[in-house]
Amino acid sequence: MAEALAGVTLHPPSLPVWSNVTARPVDDPAELRENLITQVTGMVRWRETLENMAADGITRFVEIGTGKVLAGLVKRTLPDAEAMSIEGPEDVDGFLNSIA
């Protein structure tokens, strides 16, 4: 992973990027790179990340991709949170209507 990322220029994100390596938001490109490398073999701090996000006021989570496993884990970890899944292009309109 380090070799693959060596040729990639990372810029500060325009939105918060939460790292499941540190369980906190990261905005420094060098730290993002290190976290991506560590993530390959490091422990995922899923529960701690969700709890920290909730403590920061995040209450809506969206899983993008096939399956609903992560949305289910959000609901079990944070029962008061809203968790949605977008499995494919056919789900986008329904999602947009739900947040309008």
Q: Report domain extents, the chain.
A: 1-58, 59-100
Asked whether 71 and 84 are in contact (CB, 8 A), the reply is: yes
pTM listed for this prediction? 0.84
Distances (CA, A) of 85 to 25, 42, 56, 61, 77: 22, 26, 22, 9, 16
- Cα(46)–Cα(41) distance, integer angstroms: 14
Closest residue by Cα to residue 46 from 19, 66, 17, 64: 19
pLDDT digits (tens, 9 = 90+) for 9-48: 999 999 999 999 999 999 999 999 999 999 999 999 999 9
In this predicted structure, the answer to whether residue 98 has a pLDDT above a threshold of 90 is no
pLDDT digits (tens, 9 = 90+) for 51-63: 999 999 999 999 9
Asked whether 25 and 18 are in contact (CB, 8 A), the reply is: yes
In this predicted structure, the answer to whether residue 94 has a pLDDT above a threshold of 90 is no
